[in-house]
Amino acid sequence: MSNLDVIYYSLLVLFSMLVGVFGYNRNIGSLLAFCISIFMTPVIGFIITLWTNNYRVKPPSSSTFVRVVGVLLVFIGILIASVSLYFLNQYSNSEIVNTYPSFIYIKLGAGLFFLGLFNIENGKGQSLAYLASKDIQQTDFHDIKEETEAGTIQPVPNIQYKDNDKKADKSKTGWMGNKIMVLSITLAICSYFIIDHFDFFNSSVMEIDNLDSWRNKEILTKDEKSLSYISQMLNGNTQTISVKGVPKANNGDWSFIIPNNWKVYYGDQPHVIFKMGDTSNPNVAIVISGNNLNYDFKDEDINDFFSSNELVQEIVRSRGISLFENKILINGIPGYMAETAFTHSQFDQELKIRTLTYFFIDNKSLFNLSCSVVTDDVEDNLSLKMKENIEFFRMVAGSVSFE
């Protein structure tokens, strides 16, 4: 943790505590005011706390609708936080994904959870600040009305209590009595649109770096085999593989670069064009496949294709569990990227496979360049193996050249 992080979190806790102190005599109470400020920023926490009333002036009214809203907020908060934690766990070992935004969603989910708790208690006609008060026992809130009438608490002008109820006269309080519920619904709707319209980890198009750009980057992998491949790629000890003229490539005209010590074989399956790998390292392989779409694509057609095409989704899903998907640009050409994990039975062995696949379109055909790490050892960590080879795989994808 950097010094800036320490300063940031210290200020976050400090300002959240101040909001908590401000919420001491308000219906929300110190604890929930503090928690909402921690997870939804002190600014939002202060606004919510400010919108709640002083429990001695205007205790909350019982409302089934407010309780229902509270339950929904709790459910939405748990759902957002749980999904975010799941994706964070799935992606934590991959270099492909920026996991930082998942923490934002976790905080949002936790904030909505605590806001929901407040609405549940508020809908019961209870104030957490009142219940937490040291000198008052937990009781129903018409007791405040009794204390006011007895003169223990000074009544406030324009607040009237009905004889049979806890509710203030609506003609005096107006719609503002439900303002915290309105704010809660607004936050829930905003959360829905955030989740629905933005990818958890990267909503923008990812541009694949070309091979030249890697010459100025720090290489992070420590794996000897991967470092050997990267060295060959950067030093020009390579071979160029072209799909031009290969029958299965369906008039495709593009090429890419791989290390010089790799062996290339023609594929024996219907759509597999090439298979390639290092004979001394069977745990890493690259496969090139193609599907003839018989359609002359324009640039806008390609964007639409990768936004909602069922064929790409079918290919991705057929390869097992989808861990990550995103639109990409390969040398200016729109494409799609997916990381998948699956098992494959071969003779008496069960192979664990993790694949990073790059999809793109050339001359009426959909091509996919699949970079895989493979193991038959159940104890092997494929996430770690993918991380060790991800830079090499990215270099291969970045070397794709369209004629």
Per-residue pLDDT in tens (0 to 9) along the chain, 403 residues: 456 667 777 888 888 888 888 888 787 878 888 888 888 888 888 888 888 877 666 766 777 888 888 888 888 888 888 877 776 665 554 545 555 566 777 888 888 888 888 888 777 776 666 555 544 444 444 455 555 555 554 444 444 444 444 444 433 333 334 555 555 555 555 555 554 444 443 446 788 888 888 888 888 888 999 999 999 999 999 999 999 999 899 888 999 999 999 999 999 888 899 999 999 998 999 999 998 888 887 766 777 777 666 667 777 777 677 777 778 888 888 888 888 888 877 667 788 889 999 999 988 888 999 999 998 876 677 888 888 999 999 999 999 998 8
Choosing from 172, 197, 222, the residue where a domain stops is 197
Question: Closest Cα partner for 73 from 118, 10, 103?
Answer: 118
Same domain, 193 and 287: no
Q: Residue 150's pLDDT is what?
A: 56
Measured between its terminal Cα atoms, the distance across the chain in Å is 47
Give residue 339's identity as a one-letter amino acid code: E
**What predicted TM-score, i.e. pTM, was given to this entire model?**
0.56
Same domain, 234 and 180: no
Structurally, how many domains does the chain consist of? Answer: 2
What is the token pair recorded at 276? 């390639």
Same domain, 181 and 318: no
Same domain, 61 and 176: yes
Q: Cβ contacts of residue 401 below 8 Å, gap of 6+?
A: 254, 255, 256, 331
Same domain, 164 and 266: no
Same domain, 326 and 184: no
- CA angle centred on 114, ends 108 and 119, rounded to 5°: 120
Choosing from 162, 197, 232, the residue where a domain stops is 197
Same domain, 306 and 382: yes
Burial of 134 (0-12, 13-18, 19+ CB in 10 A): exposed
Q: Which domain holds residue 314?
A: 206-402
Same domain, 14 and 123: yes
Choosing from 197, 232, 261, the residue where a domain stops is 197
The full DSSP string for 267-335 is: --STTEEEEEEETTEEEEEEEEEEEE------HHHHHHHHHH-HHHHHHHHHTSEEEEEEEEEETTEEE
Same domain, 214 and 238: yes
CA dist 386 and 394 (Å) reads 11
The domain spanning residue 392 has which CATH number? 3.40.1000.10
Same domain, 219 and 352: yes
Same domain, 273 and 188: no
Q: Residue 228's pLDDT is what?
A: 94
State CA 98 to chain mean position distance.
9
CA dist 389 and 229 (Å) reads 9
Same domain, 29 and 131: yes
**Do the bridges between strand 321-330 and strand 206-208 make them parallel or antiparallel, or are there none, so unpaired?**
parallel
